[in-house]
Amino acid sequence: MAVNEQAEKVSPLREIMETREIELNLGPQHPATHGVYRALVRLDGERVLGMESVIGYLHRGIEKWAEYRTWQQATPIFDRLDYVGAVLNCHGYVGAVEKLLNVEVPKRAQYIRVILDELQRIASHLVWLGTHGLDIGAQSVLFYAIREREAIMDLFEAMLGQRLLPNAYPIGGVRFDFPKGWVEVCRQFLEIFPKRIDEYEGLLTGNRIWRQRTIGVGVISAKDAIALSLSGPTLRGSGVNFDVRKAIPYSSYEDFDFEIPLGQNGDVFDRYLCRVREMRQSVRIIKQALDGMPEGELRGKVGKIIRPPAGEAYYTIEAAKGQLGFYIVSDGSDKPFRVHVKSPSFVNLQGIETMCKGNLIADVVAVIGSLDIVLGEVDR
């Protein structure tokens, strides 16, 4: 494990005054832990000497649960993994089953999936932005972000019937086409949204307090980030160009022209910038998908009962938090034999110790916010 040099920096007063370390229990009920995450922090005054993560408070046994359902029945439960990015989870599972079945998803369905995925990514990043801002004390960003997220949730409700956990895709395609007028409302939103991002950035990016709180805090080097298997904006904030949408294209992502924002220093500020810029790229992708929407079928040829061939498949997508992977094992029956979720939040949370060592207790809060963890996904 890479050790931060700062961790060795102990206050010189300690030797003279014989001070003691404090062990502070951050969580599981703590406003900044974004759920029921618990961190045992060892402190020298306010400086973090080390920390240990305790997770599992929200473990619901989703993987076991899925083994007792048929392949289709298992879809809605994976929405509950990352409950602020439900559509993406659904895409991950459904994509894995399709990969195992060798089903070709129609092009139009793929495009619709891209649009909904990117909308969900924006929604997820908005929740992150609001809560991260609130952690560092900027209140208004939360409400502005939630306001825009509501617009996306309304779009979901009109399209999929539910706002938060819509059970978006069936195996083989998408359920419905856009309702009448949906595309116009979506385009309207896409017009307004970049201006809203400018507002958030006006409140945060240039703000000297925000910069002082985030620049140089929670640094993780590219080498450490790769070694710790971090993914998503947390990895890209350190300057590693790895985005599943580009690296292992799925669902027609190769058709779209977009950039992957990269950071340089791997600190909280870079991760913040990565995500904010990613939202702009998502808008770009949705616009291209709406413009180039092909005609055609919505669902591939999938029977009412699915019996994939015995074997395994590992399918990864770029979820809002990072690389979301589904490792599914089939024994040829109509039920999954084993479903394993590689959840980005779980893996990203490993990096927190490296990031927090040597920083102050207030920085722990900033780092947790910048990792964008959702405990439903961490604990599964």
Partner 1 sequence: MDFATIMQYAGWPLIKIVILLIPVFTVVAYMVWFERRLLAFFQSRLGPNRVGPLGLIQPIADGLKLFLKEDLVPMNSRPFLFKIAPIFAFFPAFVGFAIVSWALPWVTPSGKVHPFVVADVDLGILFVLALSSLSIFGIILAGWSSGSKYPLFGSLRSASQMLAYEVPMTLSVVAVVLLAGSFRLSDIVAAQEKLGWYYLFPGILAFGVYLVSAVAESNRVPFDLPEGESEIIGFHTEYSGMRFAWYFVGEYANVTLISVLGTTMFLGGYDIPFVNDAALYAAHPELTSVLGVCAFAAKAALFAVFFIWIRATWPRYRYDQLLKIGWIVLLPIALANLVLVALLKLWLLR
Partner 2 sequence: MNAAARFIKMVTFWELLKGMAITSRFVAKPKVTELYPDVRPVLPYRTKGRLHVEIETCISCRMCEKACPEGCIKVFQPSKEVFKTDKRPVEFYISQEHCLHCGMCVDACPTGSIHHSQEFEMAIYNPDDLLFDKETLPYDLDIKRFRWNFIENVPVKK
Partner 3 sequence: MSDEKEQPGSPAAPPAEQSPAEAQAKPAPPKPPAPKPAVPAGPKKWESTGEVAENGATAALKAKFGEAVAGVKSPCKEAVVMVPKAKLAEILSFLRDDAACSMDYLSDLTGAHFPVNDKKFEVAYHLYSLAHKHSLRVKVQLDDGESCPTATAVWPGADWMEREAHDLLGIVFEGHPDLKVILLPEEFEGHPLRKEFPLGGKQEEMIRSNKYGKPVYLPEDIEEARKIIEEHRHGS
The answer to the question of residue 50 lying near partner 3 (CB under 8 A) is no
Assess contact for 344 and 324: CB atoms under 8 A: yes
> Which is nearer to partner 2, 8 or 184 (by Cβ)?
184
Q: Which does 17 bind (CB under 5 to 8 A by kind): partner 2, partner 3, partner 1, none?
A: none
The answer to the question of residue 361 lying near partner 3 (CB under 8 A) is no
The answer to the question of residue 64 lying near partner 3 (CB under 8 A) is yes
Q: Which does 346 bind (CB under 5 to 8 A by kind): partner 2, partner 1, partner 3, none?
A: partner 3
Q: Which does 199 bind (CB under 5 to 8 A by kind): partner 1, partner 3, partner 2, none?
A: partner 2
The answer to the question of residue 323 lying near partner 3 (CB under 8 A) is yes
Q: Please give the Cα distance from 345 to 349 (Å, whole number).
A: 6
Residue 84 has which token pair? 């602020």
Sheet holding 22-26, edge to edge: 22-26, 38-44, 47-54
Q: Which does 206 bind (CB under 5 to 8 A by kind): partner 2, partner 1, partner 3, none?
A: partner 2
**34 C-beta neighbours (distance < 10 Å), count:** 23
Could you tell me which residues come within 8 angstroms of residue 195 by beta carbon, excluding any fewer than 6 positions away?
none
Site residues for partner 1 per CB under 8 A:
22, 24-25, 30-32, 46, 133-140, 142-144, 147, 203-204, 207, 209-210, 212-213, 360-365
For the segment 223-252, give every residue that binds partner 3 (CB under 8 A): 226-230, 240-242, 247-248
**What three-state secondary structure class fits 163?**
coil
**254 C-beta neighbours (distance < 10 Å), count:** 9
The answer to the question of residue 150 lying near partner 2 (CB under 8 A) is yes
> Which is nearer to partner 2, 165 or 378 (by Cβ)?
165
Q: What is the DSSP letter of 205?
A: T
The answer to the question of residue 221 lying near partner 3 (CB under 8 A) is no
Instruction: Specify burial of residue 143 (Cβ count, 10 A radius: 0-12, 13-18, 19+).
Output: exposed
Minimum distance from residue 352 beta carbon to partner 1 (Å): 15
Q: Which does 361 bind (CB under 5 to 8 A by kind): partner 2, partner 3, partner 1, none?
A: partner 1
The answer to the question of residue 30 lying near partner 3 (CB under 8 A) is no
Q: Please give the Cα distance from 296 to 109 (Å, whole number).
A: 8
**What is the amino acid identity at position 306?**
I
The answer to the question of residue 104 lying near partner 3 (CB under 8 A) is no
Strands 323-330 and 311-318: antiparallel
Buried b (16+ CB within 10 A) or exposed e, 301-312: ebeeebebeeee
The answer to the question of residue 256 lying near partner 3 (CB under 8 A) is no
Q: Which does 349 bind (CB under 5 to 8 A by kind): partner 2, partner 1, partner 3, none?
A: partner 3
Angle at 195 (CA atoms; ends 189, 198), nearest 5 degrees: 140
* Residue reference for tokens 């209140």: 139
Minimum distance from residue 210 beta carbon to partner 1 (Å): 5
* Residue reference for tokens 């920085």: 363
For the segment 187-226, give every residue that binds partner 2 (CB under 8 A): 199, 202-203, 206-209
Q: Please give the Cα distance from 75 to 78 (Å, whole number).
A: 6
Assess contact for 349 and 32: CB atoms under 8 A: no
The answer to the question of residue 332 lying near partner 3 (CB under 8 A) is yes
Assess contact for 307 and 334: CB atoms under 8 A: yes
The answer to the question of residue 309 lying near partner 3 (CB under 8 A) is yes
Positions in the binding site for partner 2 (CB under 8 A): 69, 72-77, 140, 147, 150, 154, 157-162, 165-167, 170, 175-177, 179-182, 185, 199, 202-203, 206-209, 304
Positions in the binding site for partner 3 (CB under 8 A): 1-2, 55-56, 59, 61, 63-65, 67-70, 99-100, 102, 226-230, 240-242, 247-248, 304-305, 307-314, 316, 323, 325, 327, 329-335, 337-338, 340, 342, 346-347, 349-350, 379-380
